[in-house]
Amino acid sequence: MVSINVDVKQKYLDQAEMLRKLYDSKGIKVFELLGSPGSGKTALAEAVIDRIKDKYKILYFGGDVASTLDAERVAKHGIEAVEINTGGICHLEPSHVMEALKNVDLSKYDIMFIENVGNLICPINFPLGAHKRILVVSVAEGEDKFVKHPMSTKAADVIVISKVDLADAIGVDVKKMEEDARKLNPKAPIIKVSVKTGEGIDELVKALGL
């Protein structure tokens, strides 16, 4: 991001707090997915949604610079899915979410997933009021991503190491990744996941309290 000044930052934080209050007033739990392009955020949302959709009414918002591909994928699972195009901005801002919410009756839903724009850097600086922020880093991005991105790693509430089925093909030591993440973030659950083998999905559902 281009550096933003303190007042502007505070404005964003205030907006995130407003969103949180709105979610709470409607009794909806909100989970944000963030991480690099193609880290597996949509695939993870799909896998979790399939596990829990009989139990909860679910809403999905997908953020992207362009296209409506993610919302189309998620809608196929029989839930309400809305795409938010930022038109070039590399992260969702609270105002994007507020705008998209204008057409939605939140009280109809128990759970919302907000998938941020694929970007390992900027989204963490623009909270959207979510109850939990889930950082998704795939082994296919290389072993060093937590160390190279300490801000995102530190601020996550849940850390997912995704695509673990590919660890050998990439030549990545998943244990080392886990240790690096743990050093930066002593609190967040760190969950190893593959949507291909199903590994870790139940554990993630549990970590989200669902």
Ligand X SMILES: Nc1nc2c(ncn2[C@@H]2O[C@H](COP(=O)(O)OP(=O)(O)OP(=O)(O)O)[C@@H](O)[C@H]2O)c(=O)[nH]1
Give me the residues that bind a second copy (CB under 8 A), please: 1-4, 36-38, 64-67, 69, 88-90, 117-122, 125, 138, 140-142, 144-145, 147-151, 163, 165-166, 169-170
> How many of the other CB atoms lie within 10 Å of CB of 120?
21
Q: Which does 98 bind (CB under 5 to 8 A by kind): a second copy, ligand X, Zn ion, none?
A: none
CB of 25 to ligand X, least distance (A): 29
Closest to 117 (Cα-Cα) out of 141, 97, 146: 97
CB of 189 to ligand X, least distance (A): 18
| Residue 57: C-alpha distances to residues 49, 94, 103, 205 (Å) | 10, 23, 17, 15
x/- track of binding to Zn ion for residues 29-68 (CB under 5 A): ----------------------------------------
Q: Which does 41 bind (CB under 5 to 8 A by kind): Zn ion, a second copy, Mg ion, none?
A: Mg ion
Which position's Cβ is nearest ligand X? 118
Closer residue to Zn ion (CB): 73 or 154: 154
Of the residues 15, 153, 185, 194, which one makes contact with ligand X according to CB under 6 A:
194
What gap in Å lies between CA 30 and CA 32, rounded to an integer?
7
CB of 134 to ligand X, least distance (A): 11
Side-chain-side CA neighbours of residue 55 (13 Å): 9
Check residue 162 for interaction with Mg ion (CB under 5 A): no
CB of 151 to a second copy, least distance (A): 6
Closer residue to Mg ion (CB): 70 or 157: 70
Binding site for ligand X (CB under 6 A): 35, 37-43, 70, 118, 141-143, 148, 162-163, 165-166, 169-172, 194-196
